[in-house]
A and B are shown apart, each in its own frame.
Chain A
Amino acid sequence: MTQTESTVVVRVGGEGGEGTITIGDIFSRIAARAGLEVYSFRTYPSEIKGGQVLYQARIGTQRVMSEGDEADVLVAMNQQAWTECNDHLCSMSTLIYDTNAVEVPESYGGVTYPIPATEIATDLDWARGKNFVLLGALTCLFNFDWEMTKAVVERRMQRHKDTLTKNLAALRKGYEYIQEHYTAPFDHALPLPDPDTIEERILITGAEAMAMGALAAGCQFYSGYPITPATPIMETLAKYLPSFGGTLVQAEDEIASINMIIGAAFAGKKAMTATSGPGFSLMIEALGLAGITEVPIVLVNVQRAGPSTGLPTKTSQGDLFLTLYGGHGDAPRFVIAPDSVKDCYYSMINAFSLAEYFQTPVIVLSDQAMASRLETMPWDTKLWNPVLERRLPTEEELAEDYRRYKDTEDGISSMALPGMSGGIYLAESLEHNEYGYPDQDPANHEKMMKKRAKKTETARKLLKDWASTARRWGEEDAAFGIIGWGSTRGAVREAMDLLQKRGIKVEAIYPHTLLPMPDEAMLSFFKHKKAVLVPELNFSSQLARMVEHRYYKALYKLNIQFHTLAKEQGVPFKVQEICDAVVKMIAEEEGC
């Protein structure tokens, strides 16, 4: 028996460097190949080897929205995996463990599958292969086809040819061990679809989906500096960008990264960088430069828990304020917050559209959990919104008195590219006139501030016609609401399903563009609400504060109470935490 009928949560725990993440990752891929839906969660220490690591894969026969609260199946590679996870196992949980490394007290009442993994691997003269013994056992329990299992391992481990044969032998031994010792059906096995009917989907991490989105958008230049957890975006693009005629530079630091992409974008290329909090902090000065010189750039901030070095490998949503407001002086920028792996792909296309069209920096806010997890998604190339391009000067404009920063009605002025005859201008970090030359006249300064700010208003109008500037779930007339952003969506939606079963009606809204905010959708959401809960993975409830500030008039008029649920522990929300907070909010509101 499993927590929900259609999904199973499998958790693998072990020492870093033991291949824990490897088998978790491969297990996810095997499940996806078998036709199941997958949603993974990984947490690892910032040390390369050593430290406890955990990989959680939730697999299901229908779309999986979160990593799941409790483990149905725990694969323990060491004692700590068992002791740490013990509290999180429910009474129905099953424990699969290496008898040579884990001691389970006799009093434990759950179902166990003791496997002498280290012993089996050592017999093969390949003690390191104990992780593959356990993987073999796990896949056999789930009735995954041996040939398919083998094929996935071969593919994933193809770069380690020297150890592949040994690992396959270990995998086989584990698979056979189950066949020989356990004949009764496995409690958590899911019905597998007929291989011929499996719908074509891809299994991809959020970071990879962002890289794919960038390629789809026509990104031609990337410059970045290694930082956990954003690096996989750079590594994915490093592999593919040259095939598209693009260039990737690993810069000497984040300051160089952003200045390089500003240069490349000025020269005419679609350009981006990706970083995490510490790197984003370093980029703030040049973010203003892109704002005042009106150069289109796309930045990805894969948030991790701060402040300072903080918890480099753990997830957080603590950079919202920095992303929205960081920088001196006022300059326009747009912020997009994807809420799923699929969304990561489309958000990058949208980000390039907005950056190029409005000649403004656009920041896409992801987080460690979303960037590093694998999710199955259906693959189609249909775009959600029109792709917008940079406005280049017409021949007439270039022929006479070209003004790069012409004060137009919508705030957007055509952007000449170096090489264009007649388009010569100065991209000037000082306040400048319409030609780009320095001009400190008070009236000019105000005029140019307004010119740049107009782009935000133009964008606000344009975005009204876009799909997905805000998503809403649940019933509009619900008196209680949830406002969230980014990757908390899965836990919130599952919580709403559970609440609905208990007869509790809630509506949720996830603004997708956080700058500019989708005002119409927000105001319409507020209409029937009595109180709203704002769950966030940060310490100071940043979205709640921003929303309260922006909509204080409406909130006051409608007498809507704000309840916050701030969690800054480095780990995602559990579904139960959301449920409890909603119930508590309702009790408090109804009580008074």
Chain B
Amino acid sequence: MGQLKAKDYKSGVKPIWCPGCGDYAVLNALTKAFAGLEIPHEEIVVASGIGCSSRFPAFIKTYGFHGVHGRPLPLATGIKLGNPDLTVVAVGGDGDGFSIGGGHMPHAARRNIDITYIVMDNSIYGMTKGQPSPTSPTGMHRKAAPYGTQETPLNPIMMALSYNASFVARCFSNKLKEMTDIIMQAIQHPGFAFIQVLSPCITFNDTYAHYREITQLIPEDHDTSDLAAALQLALVTDTQYLGVFYHDKERLGYCERVRMVQEAAPKMSLDAIIENYKR
């Protein structure tokens, strides 16, 4: 195949995102990753839920599925199991993934389904114009929370680690190269890969400066096979570590397990099964 470039993976549809939105970086990183891994367009499916970031599939030149709110993981799980040869990426925002769809991630992790899940986390509902989200800080004032939010924010990395996801990483939209590299690792990981991207909403929650200040790369000596060490890093919230927290390279992916079940199953015809109902 000829030299594929990131722009070859863009559909040409103009993103609905505001200029400066963190999601552009994710679009660039993902298309670069596809190009870097030389995956043919038609062998990729990007599935999403609802929200600004979930409009993603329209902007790339691969098969896509823009589903309903909060359900990109079951949708992507079905797609991958429907055709395990495909590269399947689920994308969405923090409201989509941790609020309405919050019940699905533990199960995607538990199955270790071979998909990459990128959550563009801007700690706000952007499409509905600025309501607090599950990762908004306590006391955030918005129209829907005029007296400040009373909830404490979720910690998505902690959640993914406690669900025992086999690949857990955090990126920042301002660090494109690192993000591209991590997405490439995630796509190649034969299991469930979770990436939280700190992706600021320039209009309703501009956190660029804040994240520039508090993010730092995970120390080089961190052992990514050590879940306890990963949890220690995740517990730190005044600094937001960027990079791969955890990577379990041993665990079998769900597709492999399903294949093993199919292989071990006795070969049967419908007539043979019907015999059981004759007695």
Contacts and interface: CB of A to CB of B under 8 A. Distances in A.
Given A203-B277, A242-B261, A427-B64, A215 B270 contact: yes
Given A255-B74, A426-B57, A418 B81 contact: no
Nearest to B62: A424
Contacts of B262: 242, 245-247
Contacts of B75: 259-260, 262-263
Contacts of A90: none
A69 interface: no
Contacts of B13: 437
Interface stretch (B26-34, B37-45, B180-188): B37-45
Nearest to B272: A243
Contacts of B106: 252
Interface residues of B, number: 55
A257 B75 CA distance: 9
Contacts of B273: 212, 215, 240
B68 interface: yes
Given A267-B79, A423-B42, A427-B65, A260 B74 contact: yes
B19 interface: no
B258 A247 contact: yes
A269 interface: yes
A256 B82 contact: no
Given A215-B273, A243-B267, A262 B78 contact: yes
- Most chain A Cβ neighbours within 10 Å, of B79, B85, B106, B111: B79
Contacts of B41: 424
A202 B79 contact: no
A293 B65 contact: yes
A200 interface: yes
Contacts of B40: 421
Contact of B58 (A201, A419, A437): A437
A256 B107 contact: yes
Given A247-B81, A264-B81, A253 B103 contact: yes
A247 B263 CA distance: 12
A212 B278 contact: no
A291 B194 CA distance: 30
A79 interface: no
A223 interface: yes
Interface in A384-440: 417-430, 436-438
Interface string A276-298: 00000000011001000100000
A263 B86 CA distance: 12
Interface string B39-79: 01111110100100001011001111111100101111111
Interface in B193-234: none
Question: Chain A contact residues (Cβ within 8 angstroms of B): what range?
Answer: 35 or more
A510 to B, nearest CB: 25
Nearest to A295: B65
A289 B58 contact: no
B42 A420 contact: yes
Nearest to B262: A242
- Most chain B Cβ neighbours within 10 Å, of A201, A266, A436: A266
Interface string B93-112: 00000000001101100010
A591 to B, nearest CB: 50
B274 A259 contact: no
A285 B75 CA distance: 13
B66 A267 contact: no
A399 B266 CA distance: 41
Contact of B83 (A256, A267, A286): A267
A427 B66 contact: yes
B67 A262 contact: yes
Given A255-B71, A418-B42, A426 B66 contact: yes
A247 B42 CA distance: 23
Contact of B67 (A155, A269, A429, A438): A429
A418 B58 contact: no
A265 to B, nearest CB: 7
Given A260-B78, A286-B71, A428-B58, A419 B85 contact: yes
Contact of B66 (A216, A285, A422, A429): A429
Given A242-B265, A253-B103, A437-B13, A221 B66 contact: no
B144 interface: no
Interface string A518-545: 0000000000000000000000000000
Interface in B230-261: 258, 261
Nearest to A267: B82
Contact of A252 (B50, B62, B103): B103
Nearest to B41: A424
B143 interface: no
- Most chain A Cβ neighbours within 10 Å, of B42, B86, B261: B42
A586 interface: no
A264 B82 contact: yes
A256 B104 contact: yes
A579 to B, nearest CB: 33
B274 A212 contact: yes
Nearest to B44: A418
9 contacts: A152-B279, A204-B277, A252-B104, A260-B81, A265-B78, A266-B65, A425-B64, A427-B64, A427-B67
Interface of A: 29, 33, 152, 155, 200-204, 208, 212, 215-216, 221, 223, 240, 242-247, 249, 251-253, 255-257, 259-269, 271, 285-286, 289, 293, 379, 381, 417-430, 436-438
Given A212-B270, A436-B64, 19 more contacts: A201-B278, A212-B273, A247-B258, A249-B81, A252-B103, A253-B103, A260-B74, A260-B78, A260-B81, A263-B77, A263-B78, A267-B45, A267-B81, A381-B271, A418-B44, A421-B42, A427-B64, A427-B65, A429-B66
